[in-house]
Each structure stands twice: as structure tokens, then as C-alpha cells.
Amino acid sequence: MNKKQPYMNVGAAVLFGLFGLLFFILLSRYFTIQFTGEVGSQPLAAKAEQKYSRTGNLEAARGVIYDRNEVVISEDTTSYTLIAILDKKMTTNPKNPNHVTDPEKTARELAKIIDMEESEIYSILTKDQFQVEFGKAGRDISHQTKKEIEALKLPGITFKRDSKRFYPNGIFASHLVGYADRVEEKDGTYNYVGMMGIEKTLNDKLTGKDGKINYESDLWGYLLPNGEQKVTPAQNGNDVYLTIDQKIQTFLEDAMNKVVDEYNPKKIIAIVADPKTGDILAMGQRPSFHPKTKEGINESWHNEAIETSFEPGSTMKIFTLAAAIEEKKFNPNDMFQSGSYQVTSKDKPIHDHKRSGWGTITYLEGVQRSSNVAFAKIANELLGFEKFREYLTKFGFDNPTGIDLPSETSGKIQFTWPIEKATTAYGQGTAITPIQQIQAMTAIANNGKMMKPQVIEKIVNHDTGEVIKNVTPEVVSTPISAETAKEVRDILETVVTNKETGTGTRYQIDGYSVAGKTGTASIPDPKGGYLDGQEDYIFSFLGMAPKDDPKLIVYVAVQQPEIEHYSMGSIPVSMVFNPVMKNSLQYLNIQPSQQEKASTAKLADLVGQGVTKSVKQLEESGLQVVVLGKDDKVTGQLPAADTDVLEGEKIIIKTDGKLAAPDMTGWSLRDVMKVAKISGMKLNSTGSGYVVKQNIKEGAFLRKGDFLIVNLKTTEEKLEMDAKEAGESTKGTEEELENLPRD
């Protein structure tokens, strides 16, 4: 036993020395770290900060888009992304699992709420991953849908808070406002990027800058009570105020929907503008799309009002007329031969939409009837082609307007050959955009000053309210004088009010004076020439109201509506123009003009008086006189003596002898009844409106007891009848294709 003692002492000494050495090394290491603050040349403080410091992202909101009255058009709203936790390690208490425990049940219940098949959901839930998402069907979950899913109490199903772009008005100026899509950035984060319209044009202004928060946490990532925090605030995107008026845009959307339902056109393009400022108050088209769901976007990717140019048809005549008046070359009472016109001996004749014409008529009537011949002669013989070309530039048809919307195109003026120069005068061959027509029309409505179209009113800092950019009205040019603009408006008013010769009578609005011009443009056939169906036209109207001081300009174009005859094309156009113009004027508190009551007077007893004296007396009172017979003494009158008559009313005077039939074309049935009664004839009438035919020719004798038969038609029916009588056809020779009927 004593022999072992020395060995034990040695062993103890060795162990003591070993532990002493380890303690010395540990102590040395401690003081080394204490004094240097480094381990393996790595600073410990940095290591600790890296381990316990956390960085959070403070998401910036995209700017809000408002209308001119601060009604929200587009904004960010809270949404949720659906997530499923699949890793079993996330469950520490089997009674309260934190992962998906029953994929079959979970798939079955979720399929009732989200837009995804049960089998597809099950496939996702059985993947070997920590957590999964559900693609498009699981993103942009609303708060209501989130509550429905949470009520199912499905283990492992949770949500990640997110944001989405919200368009509360749905299909509403969709191509103007545009839309923003969620795009993945290089760092793996997601952001909304404008893809069309204002969302695209002002994407840099609308996009904010995310902020950050740095904080100290414990091992599990929780914020330490006394930990330091460093916050870099998010900079939200700027807010944009548009010139669009939500009420007027709604009027426009509703009217277009009605036309689509009834006439199923290929396209509708419509713009409402303030001619004093150039502000676009509404802009829409059909087909359109929903900016959130993108439903319909494949059918209408382009903003037709600014990205598509086409032959305008007779709305172009407004600017040809304005140029001629400005140059003092237009006399409304000068006469010309309508029907056809040959620019040069080598050119094919230009035809009116009624190919036989209306005989020799005044240029004023040529404007009212929308005579192509009248405007070809104005451009060639009165104004001169070179001077006419200068005015096309003055009215802005050479260049885009510069409106703050993406992808604006310009028109193409065909002006090489004499025939092209002549047809441009009435809107054929040359192509321009609707927004160019709006800009040019502001010069007519705004006393010669042509205003740049604007869709942005101002841009405001979302966080501070500071106005970053304030858009003011911009005068592009002054192509005509105020006097010329007024004369053009006066003439364009007669296009709407003249029931016998005006092509725009359908666009009359009770209480408001409308001035404007119709258009009927043929559609080029890709194979050559033009399409030849009865509905293969772009029907349009460009008008303003009230005429003397226009507050609104409205342009409407309807392409290929389902109609029986091209003369009916004004019906769907007026279904948009009339309610939009009237409702908008009333909404803007533009008071209807006071209708002057026609003066009335009691009719004197003319029997026994001289015809010449009686006619003079009646005409001085503002009455129209029709004399039946050639004797010198009045033997009968209608209306009878002491009858109240209105200014402008027809008075029928009868004399002795044979009575000759007057030309009653354009008369009302009431006036025809006067002739039948005073001559003792039996009246038979068909139709309604105004007389287009009578069985007794002008100058033939009216015999007591015989039948007087008249056929009456409305203005629209008369236009259709004129077209059929003229034998117009959109099929045939190349010459006919070149000169398809246009109003």
C-alpha cells in the first residue's frame, strides 16, 4: 500500500499542473479578449450586434389618385396573403398544433373560399417545405375573406399582411387611369409598378421609398425593453389629382353601357373637355377593362382616344370652314353646284353623300347638308390648298398634343396630290386622333385660343400636403380670331337646328343651344378600298354647348354599330352625346337659356281686302303667307279672323278663281290641313313629321271634293330615303369605293 503512495502523489501533481495550465490559458484568453475586444481577429461587438440586431422594413404607400373633387380613384388598401405552415417542428404542444395536421380537411375547407381546386390545394399542402403560399388565389385576400378562413380554425393556416392597389369605381376611365401591377424586385421584395395610363406616366411620382427600423433583440428576436432603436421613416408616394370629374365620367360610362347593350358596336370613343382650360373631364371607351381583375384587357389594350388615329369624316369640316372664314373667303350666301366635283381633269369626281346632289345651293346649306363638294371647293377654289395646309398646322394636326398620357400618336396628313388635298378638307384619307380634334375644337369654343388637353390638375406630397406641381391652362396657339370662332359656332348651330337641311337635328337638347358637326367615316379594308357594309362606318359627333359661351366640348365616335342602314348611325352616337352633355351641364349648374316665347297676335279679318296689301301686312307681322289663286281680292283665310297666331306661322289666303297647289315639301300636317280645308279637298296623310311627297304637283289645280294625299317623314327617315333614292351602294367600282357616302 505504501508503494502506491508515491505514484498517487505524482498523478495528483500532474493533474494539478494540467489544470493550472488550463486555468492560466483561460485567464490569459479572458484578459486578451477583455483588452482587445476581438476573437480570431473578429470584433466581438460587431458579432454581437450581428446576432442580436434586427432590421425591419417599413413599407411606403403608393400615392393616391383623386379626381378633381378629391374623390378617390385609385389607392393602396390592406390585403392579406394566405400561408400554410407544414413543418411539424413548429408544434410544441400537440393539443395546439401550429402546422397543418390534416391536409385533406384543410384542402376541402379552403376550396370553399378561395378560387382553387381542392386537389391543387392538397398538392400544395403535402409538399416537403417549411411553409407554402397559394399563388394568385391566396394573394390580395380581403379582410372579410380573412375572417371567414380564420373562423374555420384550421391548424397551420395563417396570414401575412400586405397591400394591394384598389380601384373603387371599377371600370372607370380605365385607360386614362391605367393600373399598377405587383412586381418582384431584385432584392426579393415586391412593389407596385404602373403599367398603363396615369399609373405608368407618373409611376416615379406615385412610388414611395420604403423605410427601415433597426433594433436590439433577444435570442428569439423579441425587442429588448431598453434596446436601442433606429428608425428611417418611409416616404410615401405623392398624391395625384386628375382633371377628371367622377360624376361626369359616370354619366359617360352609363351612356356607353346602354349603347353597347342595344347596338353592340365594335368600338366607342368619347371625351368630355372644358374648352376654357383644356381640362379633360371624362374619357372612356368600349371595350374597356377592370383595372383590378384585368378582365377585358386583351380586347382593348390601347387608349383609343390618344393612341389611335383614323379618318375623322365630316367633323374635319369644322376646321376647313374656320380657315375659310378667318381668311374672309367664305360667303354663306354664295352658290355652288352640288352633287359631284372634279379637282383636276385627271382625278376621279368627288361626290356628295347624296350623289345626285341638291342642285345649286348656298354654301351655308352645303355646310348644313354636309356637302363634300362644298368643302372640296372651299379648300381648292376659295381658300387655296397651300393656305389650307397652313391652317392644318395651326390647328395642331401635325403633332401630338403632348397630353400627360403614355404612347400618344399623331395623325398623318395626306397632302401630296390634289385629290388628297381636297378629300382632307372633308375628313377622308387623312387620319387624326380624337384628342387632336378636341384640342382643335377648343379654338372654336374658346374664342380662337387653342388649349392644350390636360389630365393632371396637381401633384401633392402625401405626407406634408405640399403642392409639388400645379398644372395651369396652356394656350397652344391662336389659329383664328374671336370673331371667326363666333361665326363658326353660329353656323354649326344651324347644322343642329335646321330641321330641313341640318344633319345634326338629333343632337338638339332642350334648354341648351348646341353647335356641332356630324361625321360618317368609312373604314379602310385591309385588302384595299373600304369596307362596304351598311354598318361599316365610324359615326361621330363633335359638339359644344351652350353655343354662345361653351362650357363643354363632347366628342363621341361609334364604330360599326349593328344598324340596318348607315343613315341610322346618328342614333347610338346621340345616345351618348345627348345625356352626357345635358346631365353634365345641369350638374355644373349651367342654367338653361331662357326660351323666348314667340310673340302672338290676333289675326285681322282680311276678307275683302287687296291681296298685295294683306300679304305686306302679314309679312311685316312676322307671318308666312301662302296665296291660293290669282285674283286681287281676298275671299277666304285660315286661320280665321281673331285667331291667336304665332310669329312665323303660315297663313293661307284664298282668292276667287282656280286655286293652284303650292309646294308643300317640308310643311307640317297642321299647315297642310289649312290648304285642304280652305280648298274643300279631302285630306289623306301617311307617316309623321314633315311632308316629303304630295299627290298634286305644284301648280296643278286644287279641285273641291278631290283627295289631297301627303306623305310625311321624320328628319332621320328623310335622310334614309334620300340615300336610297340616290341609288347609293358601297359595292362596285373602284371609283365608288373611293367616294363612299359621308355626311
* Domain CATH number, residue 378: 3.40.710.10
SS3 425: coil
What confidence tier does 573 reach under pLDDT thresholds 50, 70, 90? very high
pLDDT value at residue 691:
85
Whether 98 and 205 map to the same domain: the answer is: yes
Domain contains 733: no
Q: CA-CA distance, 1 to 542, in Å (whole number)?
A: 126
Q: What are phi and psi of 75, to 5 degrees?
A: -160, 165
pLDDT value at residue 142:
83
The amino acid that residue 129 corresponds to is: Q
Whether 284 and 160 map to the same domain: the answer is: no
Domain edge (last residue) among 242, 273, 293? 242
pLDDT value at residue 591:
86
Residue ranges of the alpha helices (H) in 428-474? 434-445
When mean pLDDT is compared over 24-38, 223-237, 687-701, the highest value belongs to 687-701
Q: What are phi and psi of 648, to 5 degrees?
A: 90, -5
Domain contains 29: no
Whether 223 and 253 map to the same domain: the answer is: no
- The pTM of this model reads 0.74
Task: Spell out the residues 6+ positions from residue 559 whose beta carbon is closer than 8 angstroms to its own.
Answer: 265, 266, 267, 268, 269, 523, 537, 538, 539
Q: How many CB atoms neighbour CB 657 within 10 A?
A: 11
**Total length of the chain:** 743
pLDDT above 50 (res 388) = yes
Active site residue 288: no
What confidence tier does 738 reach under pLDDT thresholds 50, 70, 90? very low
Among 376, 254, 401, residue whose Cα is nearest residue 316: 376
Q: CA-CA distance, 50 to 68, in Å (whole number)?
A: 50
Domain contains 707: yes
Query: How buried is 706 (Cβ within 10 angstroms: 0-12 exposed, 13-18 middle, 19+ buried)?
Result: middle
Whether 234 and 251 map to the same domain: the answer is: no
Domain contains 24: no
Whether 547 and 613 map to the same domain: the answer is: no
Domain contains 33: no
What confidence tier does 375 reach under pLDDT thresholds 50, 70, 90? very high
Q: CA-CA distance, 601 to 615, in Å (whole number)?
A: 16
- Which residues are registered as beta bridge partners of 240? 65, 459
Q: How far from each other are the two terminal CA atoms of the chain, in whole angstroms? A: 134
Among 39, 48, 43, residue whose Cα is nearest residue 217: 48
SS3 729: coil
434-445 vs 482-497: helix crossing angle, rounded to 10: 110
- Which residues are registered as beta bridge partners of 18? none
Domain contains 111: yes
pLDDT tens digit sequence for 475-485: 999 999 999 99
Query: How buried is 550 (Cβ within 10 angstroms: 0-12 exposed, 13-18 middle, 19+ buried)?
Result: buried
Helices and strands in the chain, H and E counts: 22, 35
Q: CA-CA distance, 240 to 687, in Å (whole number)?
A: 56
pLDDT value at residue 719:
59
Contact (CB, 8 A) for 713 and 665: no
The 3 state secondary structure assigned to 192-260 is: EEEEEHHHHHCHHHHCCECEEEEEEECCCCCECCCCCEEEECCECCCEEEECCCHHHHHHHHHHHHHHH
pLDDT above 60 (res 308) = yes
Contact (CB, 8 A) for 660 and 701: yes
Whether 378 and 478 map to the same domain: the answer is: yes
Mean pLDDT across 115-130: 92
pLDDT tens digit sequence for 201-214: 999 999 988 777 66
When mean pLDDT is compared over 8-12, 697-701, 709-713, the highest value belongs to 697-701
pLDDT above 80 (res 276) = yes
Note down the domain range covering 229: 58-242
Whether 376 and 317 map to the same domain: the answer is: yes
SS3 68: coil
The pairing of strands 650-655 and 450-451 is unpaired
Choosing from 74, 314, 540, 567, the catalytic residue is 314
pLDDT above 80 (res 185) = no
Region for residue 113 given its phi and psi (left: phi exceeds 0; alpha: psi -120 to 50; beta: otherwise):
alpha
What confidence tier does 630 reach under pLDDT thresholds 50, 70, 90? confident
Contact (CB, 8 A) for 280 and 408: no
Q: CA-CA distance, 51 to 158, in Å (whole number)?
A: 27
Domains of the chain: total: 3
The 3 state secondary structure assigned to 515-561 is: EEEEEEEECECCCCCECCCCCCEEEEEEEEECCCCCCEEEEEEEECC
Contact (CB, 8 A) for 719 and 504: no
**Residue located via cell numbers 378629300:** 423
Whether 235 and 378 map to the same domain: the answer is: no
Domain contains 48: no
What confidence tier does 720 reach under pLDDT thresholds 50, 70, 90? low
- Which residues are registered as beta bridge partners of 636? 654
pLDDT above 80 (res 347) = yes
Of 477-481, 632-636, 677-681, 721-725, the least confident: 721-725
Percent with pLDDT over 90 in the chain? 56
Query: How buried is 96 (Cβ within 10 angstroms: 0-12 exposed, 13-18 middle, 19+ buried)?
Result: exposed
Q: CA-CA distance, 180 to 98, in Å (whole number)?
A: 35
- What is the CA angle 379-382-384, rounded to 5? 55
Domain contains 572: yes
| Cα diameter, the chain | 177
SS3 12: helix
CATH number, domain with residue 195: 3.90.1310.10
Contact (CB, 8 A) for 636 and 654: yes
What confidence tier does 411 reach under pLDDT thresholds 50, 70, 90? confident
The count of C-alpha atoms lying within 13 angstroms of the C-alpha of 409, restricted to the half-sphere facing its C-beta, is: 16
pLDDT above 80 (res 530) = yes
Q: CA-CA distance, 654 to 628, in Å (whole number)?
A: 5
Handedness of CA 186, 191, 195, 198 (dihedral sign): negative
Percent with pLDDT over 70 in the chain? 87
Contact (CB, 8 A) for 281 and 383: no
What confidence tier does 740 reach under pLDDT thresholds 50, 70, 90? very low
Mean pLDDT across 702-710: 86
The amino acid that residue 167 corresponds to is: Y
Domain edge (last residue) among 587, 618, 650? 587
Q: CA-CA distance, 680 to 177, in Å (whole number)?
A: 68
pLDDT tens digit sequence for 123-159: 999 998 989 999 889 888 888 899 999 999 999 999 9
Residue 242 to residues 64, 159, 174, 205, 279: CA-CA distances in angstroms?
11, 35, 13, 14, 9
Whether 497 and 644 map to the same domain: the answer is: no
Q: How many CB atoms neighbour CB 736 within 10 A?
A: 19
Whether 254 and 208 map to the same domain: the answer is: no
Whether 315 and 290 map to the same domain: the answer is: yes
pLDDT value at residue 618:
86
Among 157, 223, 231, 160, residue whose Cα is nearest residue 189: 160
Mean pLDDT (the chain) is 86
Q: CA-CA distance, 56 to 364, in Å (whole number)?
A: 74
Among 579, 578, 577, 571, residue whose Cα is nearest residue 717: 571
Q: How many CB atoms neighbour CB 480 within 10 A?
A: 25
pLDDT value at residue 95:
86
Domain edge (last residue) among 224, 242, 260? 242
Whether 554 and 608 map to the same domain: the answer is: no
